[in-house]
Amino acid sequence: MKAKTQLLGKLHEDQEVHDTFLVLQKQLSPTRNGRSYLRVTLGDASGQLEARVWEGAEELSRRFEEGSLVHVTGVVTSYQGVLQIKASYIEQEEGGDVDWSKFLPSSKRPAGEMLLELREALGEVQNPYLTNLLDSFMDDDEFIKALSTAPAAKGMHHAYVGGLLEHTLGVVKLALALAENYNVNRDLLVTGAFLHDLGKMRELKSTAGFDYTLEGRFAGHIVMGRDLFLQKVASIDSFPDEIRLRVEHMILSHHGELEWGSPKQPQTVEALALHMIDNIDAKLMAVIEAVEREDGQSGDYTTYLKMFSRQFYRVPLAEEPTQMAAMPSRPLEKDAHLKEEEPFEEFPFHEPTPEELDAITSDNEEPRRVEVPEDYIVEEDEEADFASTLAEYEKETGGGGGGSGQGSLF
């Protein structure tokens, strides 16, 4: 097989396409004039893109199957703002070693990093039986390998290699956060968060298209996850029946409603909490993935999301300035009459001598008025204020009023 050189997420309008992609889905559809055209959803590690074949569609459709690698020749076009490939030829690739990391989307986070964080979070559990249960999973090398590569879904959310590990870690972290704020049993909730989707390791394939296994189609991940839990419990001596029943109920009810696939509805606080935080992580990530996905959608909105029956606005909020612009200073209202070019002039006064202060503050003598020197000139427009200030001074110091109080001119 030829080396892969083009990524679907990097293609642009009018670009020629000559490369290998994974067939995720194919469908023959009729045109208005009764002829058939072929719709093929292609995928690689960068994302997905639809290709359409208008000429010889039925013949080409017989040459490859879903889940196969095909070499596509065509050109990128745009229809109603959405990029697609107008394919002139599609041919199945034959044999050879395949580096699936180039064709399957993967988590942005390394598996080792997420496993380390998951072990740390599970370490918060104190109940010895639940601790032994969690250790029996995390010490199982085959389990860790499967968890690290499994997707969390076929297409709704976390639909990529390592998606199940990322989703499990997300729900466990939400469980710890919720337990800090609500009266729930933290150990039960964290354990349920870890176990709730483990059946998906057997329900979904970790290969092309993340298709369902036969067991997955017949039983489903909820029942398969419950069975996996019971197998581990059987290996732990004297595991309490009540704890087993409560955890089993959380696994069976985590979808919340019968019509959503849960055999039972949540009947404990922890079971209801698990349903809610599972929903938060799954749905928020579905929207975040759609907002961040480079799918050729023009404009400010994502493609239509069936899960929510709507599109979502994808334009990020403009960053706030690092600091507020300097505001012009405003004088206080009471000082508004003062102008910058007219500085305040203190009222001139005669500094009392030590002898005069002694006379003022003496308890043995009558207070005396402090006289202003005769050669000190008081302007007419200052005279009234000056007299008023001296009168206030006499009142504070007891001058002229026979009191003995002390004070300051200013």
Joined tokens for residue 45: 């590690």
Q: Is 77 exposed, middle or buried (0-12, 13-18, 19+ CB in 10 A)?
A: middle
Across the chain, mean pLDDT equals 81
pLDDT of residue 404: 40
pLDDT of residue 392: 55
Please check the confidence at residue 187 and state whether its pLDDT lies above 50.
Answer: yes
What's the rounded Cα separation, in Å, for the pair 134 and 345? 81
Please check the confidence at residue 374 and state whether its pLDDT lies above 80.
Answer: no
Please check the confidence at residue 380 and state whether its pLDDT lies above 80.
Answer: no
Looking up tokens 């203190």 gives 346
What's the rounded Cα separation, in Å, for the pair 311 and 46? 22
Per-residue pLDDT averaged across 354-383, rounded?
A: 55
Please check the confidence at residue 314 and state whether its pLDDT lies above 70.
Answer: yes
Angle (CA) 239 139 188, round 5°: 40
At residue 401 the predicted structure's pLDDT band, cuts being 50, 70 and 90, is very low
pLDDT of residue 136: 96
Residue pair 299/82 in contact by the 8 Å Cβ criterion: no
Looking up tokens 């993340």 gives 210
Per-residue pLDDT averaged across 196-201, rounded?
A: 92
- b vs e for 345-367, b when ≥16 Cβ sit within 10 Å of the residue's Cβ? eeeeeeeeeeeeeebbeeeeeeb
What's the rounded Cα separation, in Å, for the pair 353 and 337? 36
Of the listed ranges 133-147, 183-197, 351-365, the least confidently predicted one is 351-365
pLDDT tens per residue, range 111-154 = 999 999 999 999 999 999 999 999 999 999 999 999 998 888 77
pLDDT of residue 48: 82
Q: Does domain 111-292 have CATH number 1.10.238?
A: no
pLDDT tens per residue, range 212-225 = 889 989 999 999 99
Please check the confidence at residue 402 and state whether its pLDDT lies above 50.
Answer: no
Within 13 A of 210's CA, how many CA atoms are on the CB side? 24
pLDDT of residue 337: 52
Residue ranges of domains in the chain: 8-99, 111-292, 343-397
Please check the confidence at residue 108 and state whether its pLDDT lies above 70.
Answer: yes
Looking up tokens 């090398």 gives 141
Instruction: Give the N- to C-terminal CA distance of the chain in Å, as an integer.
Output: 96
DSSP code string of 170-212: HHHHHHHHHHTTSSS-HHHHHHHHHHTTTTHHHHB-SSGGGPB
* CATH top class, domain 8-99: mainly beta
- pTM assigned to the model: 0.65
Which stretch of DSSP H or E encloses residue 392? helix 380-397
